[in-house]
Amino acid sequence: MSKQLVLGAFEVMAPTFLANSWRHPLAQPEGYAGMAHWQELARQLDAGGFDFLFFAEALAYPMTPEGEVPEVVVREAVQFPVHDAPLLLSGLAATVDRLGFVVTSSTTAERPYLLARKYSTLDHLTNGRVGWNIVTSDMQDALVRLLGEGAVTAHDTRYARADDFVSLCLTLWEKGWDEQAQPMDKASGVFTDPAKVHRLHHDGPFFALDGYYPIAPSPQRTPTLFQAGASVAGKNFAATYAECIFTQERDVEAAAALVRDLRDRAQERGRPRDGVKVVNGLSVVVGDTEEKARRLRRELTDAPSREAMAALFLGWSGIDLTRFDPAATLQDISTEVGQSLLRQYQDPSLTVGQVLDGLRETMGGFKVTGTPAQVADEIESIVEATDVDGFLVEFTFGGTESYRDFIADVMPLLRARGLLPAQPRRGSLREMLTGSGSPHLPGTHPGRR
């Protein structure tokens, strides 16, 4: 029997993710800033059997190194506006009692102590259903200006900072309190046993701390850890810390190689090969007929303007394609922002003009289009060929329309083939995604060691 997949829904608290898809008749961008929009989506995903709702983040927006913001960014909603997704979670957790939630927070923009408090609190409020997607942040040119940081930090230095950041967070979550530290004994007057709360000391290359962690252990202690870096530094970081790694491959052979590589790196670090789950992006368009599905895919692909896609590429890679000769290539270009993204477009036979024209089709993960049976067949084929553990289903138009046909028509077929559990998973997010029998980090994880 094939492995049973984990499924997440990929969202961002914004009108759209890929520019201009909000203009499609099926899009529902109006409610993105309010709670009701996301509550409706959470109910749909929960009832449909998804395991988690994943929020990407864009702390900044596309900007050139000189500080210029292309007008199209504001005019056509190119990752502008984007609201603060973690603030949604307590309301969504009160709306549904099974679905997990993963939110993205940046080690470049945040502080370890403050982030640890936020995620411990969310883990309490969600009863152990929260995950942290660890990023070092794209759109660095805008971010450093917004935060007053001066200059863009070198790529590998950002990952060194992230390592120190996560190490300190793990110390707070895992070492600050013993189990059963809160007797709350009215007779003795002991609410918390001082002997079971420990003063912590951290003196790392980027962060220092001396003191107590004032939040009691949450159901998972440490939120389930996600990571999405695809550079060498990013893969090493993911293999060290991540329990679930988000990839964005579009080619089956490349995806299979990446999955093997990530498992090899985890094993080299003393973790079991199945200690990391790999989920790849998946854009699904379903139709009653193949012709209808392909027509809808064309409409979706054609929605973003060339100008808007160039702005997206600028934000994600730091490279402004509009400044290049369309006949030039990106072969010798370097960046400190989106190295893995840029590498995908550095084929010496690929011109800048071809990159611009192809961005709408090449950004994101696997694109599967067809009837429900065709979609299920292709998903099964991808799983068998790549050994991925699941998918982040990318929203297409925004709102519940993005997932309606996939839930109604495709998921029953996957369930019948044994690719999804007969009944939706329950428990902590860690238990649902990793299959462990405990909400806590496994003993092989560096946070426990």
The annotation places the binding site for FMN at 104, 155, 159, 231
One-letter-per-residue 3-state SS of the chain: CCCCCEEEEEECCCCCCCCCHHHCCCCCCCCCCCHHHHHHHHHHHHHHCCCEEEECCCCCCCCCCCCCCCHHHHHCCCCCCCCCHHHHHHHHHHHCCCCEEEEEEECCCCCHHHHHHHHHHHHHHCCCCEEEEEECCCCHHHHHHHHCCCCCCCHHHHHHHHHHHHHHHHHHHHHCECCCCCCCECCCCECCCHHHECCEEEECCCCEEEECCCCCCCCCCCCEEEECCCCHHHHHHHHHHCCEEEECCCCHHHHHHHHHHHHHHHHHCCCCHHHCEEEEEEEEEECCCHHHHHHHHHHHHHCCCHHHHHHHHHHHHCCCHHHCCCCCECCCCCCCCCHHHHHCCCCCCCEHHHHHHHHHHHCCCEEEEECHHHHHHHHHHHHHHHCCCEEEEECCCCCCHHHHHHHHHHHHHHHHCCCCCCCCCCCCHHHHHHCCCCCCCCCCCCCCC
- Looking at this protein, which amino acid is placed at residue 375? V
- Given a contact cutoff of 8 angstroms between Cβ atoms, the answer to whether 188 and 397 are in contact is no
Residues making up the annotated binding site are 104, 155, 159, 231
Token pair for 191: 């609410």
Q: Beta strands 200-203 and 208-211: pairing type?
A: antiparallel
C-alpha dihedral, 437 to 441 to 445 to 449, nearest 10°? -120
Distance of alpha carbon 230 from the chain centroid:
12
